[in-house]
Structure 1
């Protein structure tokens, strides 16, 4: 029998009016305990135990590269030396760069290489009437009709440098569903940081289990560098809520 139960189940106790007021004031919000405890635990189990992680990276004009799990697993020491050499040079020059592990849930669903029905639910549930309705209510953006999604894992030595999300593909709100597997230490990096025009950090969201970060785009932001001693536990679902479907 095919399991038709949703994987992403919203916490019915969310104070949507208060969340909407915060988003209206700041253009961003972190919703804690966004899913039921059972739902959040199921997502974490799927991400941490059953997901075939690929790799995405870009260093200036070199990329973006999106490797599926077999290609990522086949990288040798020379490949890694090349990648991190390019990333280091880009960062030294102040050029946009990133590297993180990923599973492209929307692409896998659309192109027929999904890891399984539960991984497909990551995409379909993001686009459920319940999730989209809550997002429209909190953001006061009724034109939101669709979202893409990918699973991400920022592990040791990974980061996403300062940038803005600018696209002609209907991006309205960026989101990060956080499922950090343990109480996250500030020393482990991986914060979603926001910046003012002078380059000062004006807000940073700690990776928190079962939280949803949303912010209007474009907006200066980054994911801070995860040091080598941090655990490989910063799991998330990320993407954009849009005014059109691809």
Structure 2
């Protein structure tokens, strides 16, 4: 497989016009950055199509001590109404108090790749390309972390009712150095629709927020306090992204 395509379809060409030195300087100031137009427009549109039309969405959820859970699409279809209500109640209880929680649609690309759920799938190709040298080199240059050797990935879709509560990704022992969100939201996203990647000060105020937008890579060193804000019922199901962590082991 080539560095940027699956068959004849381009899905991961890095934008050659990026000013990597300027991006590295910006990242060094706050240990976070949003790189807009990170891929070529053709690649980003093809990648959006894979997520929007070819991804078998399951459900990820976590409520206090119950989780994390990753339910595959075929298993999600068998959940009874009572089971769905029970999950919703657990999430509600956790978030009314001081516990951690999240719920969103997802496809665990690394698990699928390692367990050979669908060998040769577009999602497998995307994971390989995230871990190939052109993209890894971009991340190393921007972050200044030459020790990065690999990344994991999951496809995510935050639709109405979804959220990710505040946390800091403090998994240094597992080799986590950078978290990333490759946004592929192909809609003019309104602030009222939530789904922002927010970063927080110690006093709970929002220090910075990144709007969901098309072909934009959010990259930040961990640990940092962050969350994905609640997506209300009237928002469209278009907050598509590939997320994960770049690792040094």
How high is the TM-score relative to the length of structure 1?
Answer: 0.96
Assess if the C-alpha contact under 8 Å between 2:10 and 2:42 holds in 1: no
Q: Compute the displacement of 1:6 (Å).
A: 5.4
Q: Over residues 184-233 of structure 1, what are the superposed CA-to-partner deviations in whole Å (9 max), with x where a residue is unaligned?
A: 11010000000011110000000010000000001100000000000000
Task: Provide the secondary structure at the position in 2 that maps to 1:202.
Answer: strand
Aligned equivalent of 1:63:
67
Assess if the C-alpha contact under 8 Å between 1:175 and 1:238 holds in 2: yes
Assess if the C-alpha contact under 8 Å between 2:164 and 2:230 holds in 1: yes
Aligned equivalent of 2:134:
130
1:46 corresponds, among 46, 50, 63, to 50
Assess if the C-alpha contact under 8 Å between 1:6 and 1:121 holds in 2: no
Aligned partners of 1:79, 1:181: CA distance in 2, in Å? Answer: 33
Aligned equivalent of 1:28:
32
Assess if the C-alpha contact under 8 Å between 2:14 and 2:39 holds in 1: yes
Aligned equivalent of 1:236:
241
2:189 corresponds, among 184, 191, 201, to 184
Q: Compute the displacement of 1:76 (Å).
A: 2.5
Unaligned runs of 5+ in 1: none
Q: Is 1:170 aligned to 2:175, yes or no?
A: yes
Q: Compute the displacement of 1:101 (Å).
A: 0.5
Aligned equivalent of 1:195:
200
Q: Compute the displacement of 1:74 (Å).
A: 1.9
Q: Compute the displacement of 1:23 (Å).
A: 0.6
Assess if the C-alpha contact under 8 Å between 1:192 and 1:221 holds in 2: yes
Aligned partners of 2:99, 2:74: CA distance in 1, in Å? Answer: 29
Aligned partners of 2:53, 2:8: CA distance in 1, in Å? Answer: 21
Assess if the C-alpha contact under 8 Å between 1:165 and 1:219 holds in 2: yes
Assess if the C-alpha contact under 8 Å between 1:6 and 1:125 holds in 2: no
Q: Is 1:215 aligned to 2:220, yes or no?
A: yes
Aligned partners of 1:206, 1:85: CA distance in 2, in Å? Answer: 29
Task: Provide the secondary structure at the position in 2 that maps to 1:210.
Answer: strand
Q: Compute the displacement of 1:72 (Å).
A: 1.5
Aligned partners of 1:22, 1:50: CA distance in 2, in Å? Answer: 35
Higher deviation after alignment, 160-169 or 212-221: 160-169
Aligned pairs, number: 244
Aligned equivalent of 2:104:
100
Q: Is 1:121 aligned to 2:125, yes or no?
A: yes
Distance 1:105 1:91, change over 3 A: same
Assess if the C-alpha contact under 8 Å between 2:11 and 2:42 holds in 1: no
How high is the TM-score relative to the length of structure 2?
Answer: 0.95
Distance 1:115 1:180, change over 3 A: farther
